[in-house]
A and B are shown apart, each in its own frame.
Chain A
Amino acid sequence: MSEYLVLIYEREAEWENGGPELFGEMYAKHQEFGAKHASSLRGGNALQPTAAATSIRTDMSGDATVTDGPFAETKEALAGYYLIEAADLDEALAIAKAVPAPFGGVEVRPIRTLD
């Protein structure tokens, strides 16, 4: 078995415009997904919007600069993630396809295991 991180990227504007109704609807969809794939799920969280993000960049000399905002400005921003366990990529992709992400999509990244 291998672990994969499923990163959910979505357009934040559509979340903001949706209001509490949308939030409730999406919450239910994620609950449903979570129940259905409980045996594969190892973790997961929703994130506050990128407006709440703070980034730290370190230069060659080791000095850190703290800035307001996400690490990279993108149209679709990281909105949440699931950590899943699957036999192989095909199984991971099948689970990832079921992740609710109507305003964007997901990226599947294998977790690196250090020997």
Chain B
Amino acid sequence: MAVDAAVSAAVDDAHRREWAFVLAATVRITADIDEAEECVQHAYATALTSWSHSGIPDRPGAWLTTVARRRAIDLGRRRQALHRSLPLLVERWSDTEPSVQGHEGVRDDRLRLIFTCCHPALSRPAQVALTLRLVCGLTTAEVARGFLVSESTMAARITRAKKKIAQAHIAYRTPPVSERMARVDAVLGVVHLVFTTGHTAPSGSDLVRSDLIERASDLARMLRQLLPDDPQVAGLLALFVLTDIRRSTRSTEDGTLVLLEDQDRSQWDRDAIAEGVALVHEALGPRPPGRFALMAAIAAVHAEAPTFKETDWAQIVSLYDLLLVSWPSPVVALNRAVAVGLADGPAAGLEALGPLAEEPRLACYPYLAAARADFLRRLGRTAEARLFYDEALMLTENGAEREFLAGRLRQLDR
């Protein structure tokens, strides 16, 4: 029987929106992530045929959860009959904490799931892989493609991480209040990494990978819904919203990079800017402001500037000064120096870049050479500019960025 297009679209939509909810609710029954995944996959497969017969349910998430949980209970009974002597693991993961009530009174365990995936006892790459696989429901092949590793490497990474969760008994629960801030930071770090990986694909010909950006945005919105009072969550979502307004104007149809300076600001979504700015105000509330709140505030200044020239560069520099305090990273220092150059002219910018030449962590970072080349070009120091454009070109693997740098070099030769 052919599956109705509407049914297939509804299942796809439910996959994107409800996967984490259904899986989190099912893990509660199985106490085993692999088995829960299998049950959830079974539920989505069942939905394809069942919804074709009896129509799309009003609450697909609740429907899928019921089917997945029923499957989990069946499997559990069958296994219990087989190994009556083995104690059930469910005990350990029993209802020891109240959790948010979701669809029709079904408990919402998504926070437990995401905190478990981002547990600090797991490596960052493992946290990212597990989050995309378990919270977003991506296949191993899709996760591998997102991070440019082979499917077998990614499969091994996911298997290792799941094994560690089981062997070390990483608890399936939300952390206690005393650890809450650090644990939320770890989660936000993972989601931010997914977003930045999508925003500038490390190599390949496309500048952005929209699928990763969308997954990261979905995750940020889910966190916002589950942790509505957390200013860092508001900051991260604001950052995504305000960065993403530029996604379509950052490159032309044929993939050529367009600088912020030359982007068509009339195409930026005003409603999205308003949403982002409101979130920034919320995120900046507590003192001192968090890292994502400050990055979002910088994005907000750009988004609200009518033209590149009219950008409030002095405010951007002072926001970078604050950001350097909460996040002393050489990349932040580089961005600050670029802002100084735009606020006070290329000579000031070049001077601000000076000390960064000694920074070993920037030695292979193409944007440092590109920034220096740009200031030198503006100062008319063509020969030196050419050297640094060459260096930047050597260091970048992204096709769109390489094409941009090569274009600058051609302009210098004219």
Residue ranges of A at the interface with B (Cβ–Cβ < 8 Å):
2, 87-90, 92-93, 108, 110, 112, 115
Query: In the assembled complex, which residues on chain B have CB atoms less than 8 Å from the CB atom of A2?
Result: 169
With both beta carbons as reference points, the residue of chain A lying nearest to B120 in the complex is identified as A93
Query: In the assembled complex, which residues on chain A have CB atoms less than 8 Å from the CB atom of B179?
Result: 90
Assess the A89–B170 pair: CB atoms within 8 A. Answer: yes
With both beta carbons as reference points, the residue of chain B lying nearest to A3 in the complex is identified as B169
Q: How far is the CB of B79 from chain A (nearest CB, A)?
A: 14
Query: In the assembled complex, which residues on chain B have CB atoms less than 8 Å from the CB atom of A110?
Result: 167-169
Residue ranges of B at the interface with A (Cβ–Cβ < 8 Å):
86, 92, 119, 121, 167-171, 175, 179
Query: In the assembled complex, which residues on chain B have CB atoms less than 8 Å from the CB atom of A88?
Result: 92, 169-171
A112 to B121, CA, bound (A): 18
Sample of 12 further A-B pairs with CB below 8 A, known A89-B170, A90-B170, A110-B169: A2-B169, A87-B92, A88-B92, A88-B169, A88-B170, A88-B171, A89-B119, A89-B168, A90-B179, A92-B169, A110-B168, A115-B86
With both beta carbons as reference points, the residue of chain A lying nearest to B179 in the complex is identified as A90
With both beta carbons as reference points, the residue of chain B lying nearest to A91 in the complex is identified as B171
Query: In the assembled complex, which residues on chain A have CB atoms less than 8 Å from the CB atom of B175?
Result: 90
A and B contact pairs by CB, cutoff 8 A, 16 listed: A87-B169, A87-B171, A88-B169, A88-B170, A88-B171, A89-B121, A89-B168, A89-B169, A89-B170, A89-B171, A93-B121, A108-B168, A110-B167, A110-B169, A112-B167, A115-B86
Q: How far is the CB of B94 from chain A (nearest CB, A)?
A: 12
For the residues of B in contact with A, the DSSP-based class is loop
A89 to B175, CA, bound (A): 12
Query: In the assembled complex, which residues on chain B have CB atoms less than 8 Å from the CB atom of A115?
Result: 86
Q: How far is the CB of A50 from chain B (nearest CB, A)?
A: 27
With both beta carbons as reference points, the residue of chain A lying nearest to B166 in the complex is identified as A110
Q: How far is the CB of B15 from chain A (nearest CB, A)?
A: 31
Query: In the assembled complex, which residues on chain A have CB atoms less than 8 Å from the CB atom of B171?
Result: 87-90
A110 to B86, CA, bound (A): 20
With both beta carbons as reference points, the residue of chain B lying nearest to A2 in the complex is identified as B169
Q: How far is the CB of A112 from chain B (nearest CB, A)?
A: 7
Shortest 8 CB-CB contacts between residues of A and residues of B = A88-B171, A88-B169, A110-B168, A2-B169, A89-B170, A89-B168, A110-B167, A89-B169
A87 to B97, CA, bound (A): 15
Q: How far is the CB of B122 from chain A (nearest CB, A)?
A: 10
Q: How far is the CB of B88 from chain A (nearest CB, A)?
A: 14
Query: In the assembled complex, which residues on chain A have CB atoms less than 8 Å from the CB atom of B121?
Result: 89, 93
A26 to B17, CA, bound (A): 54
Q: How far is the CB of B170 from chain A (nearest CB, A)?
A: 5
Query: In the assembled complex, which residues on chain B have CB atoms less than 8 Å from the CB atom of A89?
Result: 119, 121, 168-171
Q: How far is the CB of A52 from chain B (nearest CB, A)?
A: 31
Query: In the assembled complex, which residues on chain A have CB atoms less than 8 Å from the CB atom of B170?
Result: 88-90
Most buried by B among A87, A90, A93: A90
With both beta carbons as reference points, the residue of chain B lying nearest to A113 in the complex is identified as B167
Q: How far is the CB of B177 from chain A (nearest CB, A)?
A: 13
Query: In the assembled complex, which residues on chain B have CB atoms less than 8 Å from the CB atom of A92?
Result: 169
Most buried by B among A92, A93, A115: A93
Q: How far is the CB of B186 from chain A (nearest CB, A)?
A: 13
A92 to B171, CA, bound (A): 11
Query: In the assembled complex, which residues on chain B have CB atoms less than 8 Å from the CB atom of A87?
Result: 92, 169, 171
A88 to B164, CA, bound (A): 12
With both beta carbons as reference points, the residue of chain A lying nearest to B121 in the complex is identified as A89
With both beta carbons as reference points, the residue of chain A lying nearest to B178 in the complex is identified as A94
A74 to B86, CA, bound (A): 41
Q: How far is the CB of B165 from chain A (nearest CB, A)?
A: 9
A90 to B122, CA, bound (A): 12
A111 to B178, CA, bound (A): 27
A2 to B169, CA, bound (A): 8
Query: In the assembled complex, which residues on chain A have CB atoms less than 8 Å from the CB atom of B168?
Result: 89, 108, 110
Q: How far is the CB of B370 from chain A (nearest CB, A)?
A: 40
A92 to B170, CA, bound (A): 10
With both beta carbons as reference points, the residue of chain B lying nearest to A115 in the complex is identified as B86
Query: In the assembled complex, which residues on chain B have CB atoms less than 8 Å from the CB atom of A90?
Result: 170-171, 175, 179
Q: How far is the CB of B95 from chain A (nearest CB, A)?
A: 15
A89 to B166, CA, bound (A): 10
